[in-house]
Amino acid sequence: MPRFKPRNRRPIAGPGGADDDAQLLERLRSGDEAAFSALVERHHDPMLRLARTFVQSQAVAEEIVQDTWVAVLHGIENFEGRSSLRTWLLAILVNRARSTGAREARTVPSADPTPAVDAARFNAGGGWSTPPEQWAEDVEARLSADTLAPVIREELERMPARQRAVVMLRDVDQLRSDEVCQVLGLSAVNERVLLHRGRGRLRQALEDAIGGC
């Protein structure tokens, strides 16, 4: 079951992971199997989740991740370190996913985006008629983290594929927004539109869960 990581733990592939990645990469280049395992361990989950935004099947997603690592190993001398290893890996994965013919949901942001908050919650003047209520200082004090993690996971699953990919890369894996654009081949504006809608949905899902307790 999905859980939350302890508060003080760094995101597994987040800031602070880059130096370790560089060291592991050096060791991998010299043929160190343990370094490869460590890299796979560290990046597997983000890669698999990203692959799942291209294909429905878990098995096919796993194949895409494996193909990606094969491509990474064979291209390891070509990695110049201009982007982070993580961005490079994920960009290769997206290329692999596209070249396997995976059908990507085309959720290109429209000019008239769905609002982040239901219009019914505002009055005619655009002010709140049903304002949000303050959540407890520490939400988990009232609701266990084990209750909220599935709320987020399930809402992510319900999102259109591209929106989910953007939110996962930016807010779960904590890539920078320019890295997200690079990996998914999105413009900065489109990335932010998708992110905005996705975050709006997550907040709403949490509000529904927290408000009902």
**Residues near another protein, by CB under 8 A:** 2-5, 7, 11-12, 31, 33, 36-37, 40-41, 44-46, 48, 62, 66, 69-70, 73-74, 115-117, 119, 122, 125-128, 131-135, 139, 145, 148-149, 152-153, 167, 171-172, 174, 177, 188, 192, 195-196, 199-200, 202-203, 206-207
- Measured from the CB of residue 18, what is the shortest distance to another protein in angstroms? 17
Contact 64, 89 (CB under 8 A): no
Nearest residue (CB) to another protein, 67 versus 104: 67
- Measured from the CB of residue 174, what is the shortest distance to another protein in angstroms? 6
Residue 105, Ramachandran bin (φ over 0: left; ψ between -120 and 50: alpha; else beta)? beta
- Measured from the CB of residue 19, what is the shortest distance to another protein in angstroms? 19
Give the list of residues 6+ apart from residue 112 with CB closer than 8 angstroms, or none. none
Cα separation of 165 and 194, whole Å? 9
Nearest residue (CB) to another protein, 81 versus 115: 115
Nearest residue (CB) to another protein, 60 versus 145: 145
For residue 59, the surrounding DSSP H or E stretch is helix 58-74
Cα separation of 171 and 143, whole Å? 21
Cα separation of 94 and 54, whole Å? 8
Give the list of residues 6+ apart from residue 114 with CB closer than 8 angstroms, or none. 197
- Measured from the CB of residue 192, what is the shortest distance to another protein in angstroms? 6
CA distances from 54 to 10, 66, 183, 192 (A): 27, 15, 13, 20
- Measured from the CB of residue 79, what is the shortest distance to another protein in angstroms? 15
Nearest residue (CB) to another protein, 103 versus 121: 121
Cα separation of 203 and 209, whole Å? 10
Q: Which residues pair with 122 in a beta bridge?
A: 128
Nearest residue (CB) to another protein, 17 versus 94: 17
Nearest residue (CB) to another protein, 103 versus 115: 115
- Measured from the CB of residue 66, what is the shortest distance to another protein in angstroms? 6
